[in-house]
Amino acid sequence: MHQLFSWAARGVLGVALSLNLFAAEGRADNALDEYLKKPDAHFNWKRTESKKLEGAEVVHLELLSQVWREQFWSHDIQIVRPTTVRHSDICLLFITGSGDGARYIEMLKTITDASGAMAAVLADVPNQPLYDGKNEDALIAYTFEQFARTRDKSWPVLFPMVKSAVKAMDAIQQHTEKAHQQKVTKFVVTGASKRGWTTWLTGATDPRVVAIAPMVFDMLNFKAQTDWAQAMYGRQSEQIADYTELNLVERMNSPELKELRSWVDPYEYAKSYTMPKLILIGTNDRYWVVDSLRHYWNDLPQPKWIFQTPNAGHDLDGGREAIPTLAAWYQMIADGEQPPSVQWQIKDGPEGAQMTLIFSQKPEEVRAWTAKSTDRDLRDDKWESAKLPNLAEQMTIDVPKPEQGYVAYLGEAVFKTKRGHRYKLSTEARVTPREAPSRPNSSGPSTGSK
């Protein structure tokens, strides 16, 4: 089991990869772009050590990515390079938090074994703790509040987080050319939670990113998402208390926070995401409402895929199912193999819901997953599955309306790549009946208690 969080054919795919070279140029620069383009003479890196694994080499780089608000940002990079490299021009970059990244080498080895291409982990994004011991959401929320108070565009810590990824790509390119006389021109970027957020923003702003696989950041379209949580829970999730305690959610439509959202909400860059996208999320994630995808999925351009792991929560169950899917998907991206499309149509009426699944190729297995809730807060409810018979390129899931309460549902399909790697894709999760529960509004956090 891979521990993800301890504190990611030519033809249509080829066109998507080419189009992304121009995606970041198709809109006017904003404050994030300006920060990324600002020269920083402090950038440097050095190779410190290397070691041999069975079928691979691991190289450790130390990186100084930038100076942000008079603070030096340093990072560790672990690069896993397979002994036999099938694709020398592409590298997967996994962005993670505190530590030196060594704990992810086994995971990267799984990915390089499948793909025949390099994979690297960038650690310490963000550099933390900062500002009286603040970490993670507390740090991000603090910097948002500082921007709202001062209108100083240098404050949002997402800016140096993205620049850390940009400079890591620079370092990997320079090291690979120096050590192996090979040019890395393409990156597949992934990361979880706040690093999933960073993944979205890096993909929107750097043309070297030819595909993204953001993990457990199901929050695009901030205003719609927080409004939806308020309607579904009667309050915001306790997991975003760092933001609600500073009244950032309540002030989201203020001029200063509208401006901030235009820089840090990935939804604002939706048209730029022409590259292949694999969204890796889990049901029972305490941060988000289970059907949060409804607020941005249809606005993302193709090609795009989802794997929503049932019962996995915010840590994706350690990546037990998500990492094999990521490895297979990266192999397909590197090989130019077109992943199958998974589409769905939903009819929701007084008797319940019907989801029609449409595949571009017949899957090896299809399951219908459902979870029941008395109050539509499904974060503590167990998902159960039923295997569907008679596999075909079009299948139907019927979800009867419950006598009381709500039923969440999604479809899951199993495929294999041309190289034989097994992986899973899914639909978004939806809930029937569609009507929101009747709840009194509350400004306190939702704990998900039944």
Report helix, strand and coil shares of the chain as percent, to nearest 5.
Answer: 35, 30, 35
Rounded Cα distance between 313 and 280, Å, is 11
pLDDT for 60-73, tens place per residue?
A: 999 999 999 999 99
Question: CATH assignment of 12-341, given 3.30.460.80, 3.40.630.10, 3.30.565.10, 3.40.50.1820?
Answer: 3.40.50.1820
Report yes or no: 35 and 73 within 8 Å, Cβ to Cβ: no
Cα angle 442, 195, 51 (rounded to 5 degrees) comes to 150
The answer, as to whether pTM is greater than 0.85, is yes
pLDDT of residue 20: 42
pLDDT of residue 438: 73
Given a cut of 70, the residues of the chain with pLDDT beneath it are 1-26, 439-450
pLDDT of residue 14: 45
pLDDT of residue 39: 96
Helix (H) or strand (E) holding 59: strand 56-68
pLDDT for 28-75, tens place per residue?
A: 889 999 999 999 999 999 999 999 999 999 999 999 999 999 999 999
Residue 376, CA distances (Å) to 73, 424, 449 in order: 42, 26, 11
For the beta sheet containing 342-349, the strands, ordered from the edge strand earlier in sequence to the opposite edge, are 342-349, 352-359, 394-400
Interaxial angle between packed helices 105-115 and 322-335, expressed in degrees from 0 to 180 and rounded to the nearest 10: 40
pLDDT of residue 237: 97
263 Cβ contact partners less than 8 Å away, ≥ 6 residues apart: 30, 31, 32, 156, 158, 159
Rounded Cα distance between 8 and 95, Å, is 8
Residue 304, CA distances (Å) to 249, 339, 340, 359, 430 in order: 29, 10, 10, 13, 18
pLDDT of residue 434: 86
pLDDT of residue 440: 59
Per-domain residue ranges for the chain? 12-341, 345-446
The CA R_g of the chain, rounded to the nearest whole Å, is 21
pLDDT of residue 26: 59
pLDDT of residue 439: 64
Residue 63, CA distances (Å) to 104, 176, 279, 333, 355 in order: 18, 15, 28, 27, 48
Rounded Cα distance between 62 and 230, Å, is 44
Architecture of domain 345-446: Sandwich (2.60)
Report yes or no: 192 and 212 within 8 Å, Cβ to Cβ: no
Show the beta-strand stretches assigned E in 181-238.
186-192, 209-215, 236-237
202 Cβ contact partners less than 8 Å away, ≥ 6 residues apart: 95, 162, 165, 166, 189, 209, 212
Do the domains 12-341 and 345-446 sit in the same CATH topology, yes or no? no
pLDDT of residue 156: 99
Rounded Cα distance between 82 and 72, Å, is 32
Residue with token string 């990935």: 266
Q: What is the DSSP letter of 62?
A: E
pLDDT of residue 436: 80
Q: Which two tokens stand for residue 78?
A: 């672990």
Q: What is the DSSP letter of 398?
A: E
pLDDT of residue 132: 98
Rounded Cα distance between 205 and 21, Å, is 10
